[in-house]
Amino acid sequence: MRWRGNRQSSNVEDRSGRSTGKIATGGGLGVVVIALIVFFISGGDLGAVTDTLGGNSTPTTYQTTPTTTKDYTEQKEFASVVFAHLEDYWNTEFKESNEPYQNPKLVLFTDSVNSACGPATSQVGPFYCPADQNVYLDLSFADELSTKYGATGDYAMAYVIAHEVGHHVQNELGISDQVDKIRNRVSTTEYNQYSVRLELQADYLAGCFTKYLAGKSYQGQPILETGDVEEALTAANAIGDDTLQKEYQGYVVPDSFTHGTSQQRINWFKRGYQYGDLEHGNTFNEQNLDLAS
Ligand SMILES: [Zn+2]
């Protein structure tokens, strides 16, 4: 992606290198549990959309003092540029539909962070918290994407940020609210199916954004480079529920899927990239989530 020199978003809060105080939480599971507690207290209209990428449930206590001294200047700039393009895109889209749109905020952190959905460590991976309308991004995640998941290239990270902003769009459209209301009326297995649809729709929206970006240029050069779409697809493939379960537990339990299979994630991203509109992104009306590839 040709991103250098592009506008950087002003809705970015840099909390990297900051300690959040002494809390111990169990990786991905910790935030899910906390989100559920918040959800019950609030009467069911809250809940973090956590993208626990590869989050295993092994309880871990983390250091309160930042362990990373790495210079993340480039990652910060990149994330701010992607976030600015996402602002441009979604503001235009909502304006065209005469719908109000409030920009989300991007919170950059290292090690750990506090959100309105509860505290989180970098083990949780990027997530969106509807309660404060922030996208939380651990700056070391780009490294993790390439080393742990084999998803290299800057656009893999752009896809992840676009996916999280997709959750914000769902929040703005009231979709997340509707899904949350279902949460305490159905079984876990059934709720997981709604969660999968929510996640695949966020992938679809990331695809829509990519189509938009494909038509943009900066100083006469197209912003998207050859291979960018493939980088997103590689990332989508790597973080599918079936692929992650195979890798971490050696077998696949479809009932426990919350994000969709690798193939489904790829197909919905591709579909968004193909159509670039909201009409074709109704995962809740689709009988067959596999789509035709
Ligand atoms: Zn998600």
Residue 11 has pLDDT above 90, yes or no: yes
What separation in Å is there between the alpha carbon of 221 and the centre of ligand 1? Answer: 31
Residue 57 has pLDDT above 60, yes or no: no
What separation in Å is there between the alpha carbon of 219 and the centre of ligand 1? Answer: 33
- For 138-192, what is each residue's pLDDT tens digit? 999 989 899 988 999 999 999 999 999 999 999 999 999 999 999 889 999 999 9
What phi and psi values does residue 68 have, to the nearest 5 degrees? Answer: -100, 130
What separation in Å is there between the alpha carbon of 61 and the centre of ligand 1? Answer: 25
Quote the pLDDT of residue 287.
85
What separation in Å is there between the alpha carbon of 83 and the centre of ligand 1? Answer: 16
Mean pLDDT of 52-75: 59
What separation in Å is there between the alpha carbon of 72 and the centre of ligand 1? Answer: 24
Q: Are 155 and 229 in contact (CB under 8 A)?
A: yes
What separation in Å is there between the alpha carbon of 37 and the centre of ligand 1? Answer: 19
SS3 at position 201: helix
Q: In whole angstroms, give the CA distance from residue 280 to residue 140.
A: 34
Quote the pLDDT of residue 52.
53
Closest CA to 232 of 145, 157, 182: 157
Work out the mean pLDDT of the chain and round it to a whole number.
Answer: 85
Residue 68's pLDDT band (boundaries 50, 70, 90)? low
Q: How far, rounded to the nearest angstrom, does the alpha carbon of residue 126 sit from its chain's CA centroid?
A: 6
| Residue 287, C-beta contacts closer than 8 angstroms, at least 6 positions apart | none
What separation in Å is there between the alpha carbon of 202 and the centre of ligand 1? Answer: 6
Residue 133 has pLDDT above 80, yes or no: yes
- For 204-225, what is each residue's pLDDT tens digit? 999 999 999 999 999 999 999 9
Cα dist from 167 to 14, 121, 145, 150, 239, whole Å: 21, 20, 20, 24, 17
| Residue 51, C-beta contacts closer than 8 angstroms, at least 6 positions apart | 125, 126, 127, 128, 160, 163, 164, 199, 239, 259
What separation in Å is there between the alpha carbon of 53 and the centre of ligand 1? Answer: 9
Q: Are 291 and 268 in contact (CB under 8 A)?
A: yes
Which range, of 57-66, 90-99, 171-180, 267-276, averages the lowest pLDDT?
57-66
What separation in Å is there between the alpha carbon of 41 and the centre of ligand 1? Answer: 23
Residue 228's pLDDT band (boundaries 50, 70, 90)? very high
What separation in Å is there between the alpha carbon of 215 and the centre of ligand 1? Answer: 25
Q: In whole angstroms, give the CA distance from residue 143 to residue 147.
A: 6
Residue 25 has pLDDT above 70, yes or no: no
Q: Are 108 and 81 in contact (CB under 8 A)?
A: no
Quote the pLDDT of residue 10.
98
What separation in Å is there between the alpha carbon of 201 and the centre of ligand 1? Answer: 9
**Residue where the block lists tokens 């919905």:** 268
What is the number of alpha carbons within 13 Å of residue 82 lying toward its C-beta? 26
Mean pLDDT of 191-202: 95
Q: How far, rounded to the nearest angstrom, does the alpha carbon of residue 46 sit from its chain's CA centroid?
A: 17
Strands 118-121 and 221-222: unpaired
Q: Are 214 and 278 in contact (CB under 8 A)?
A: no
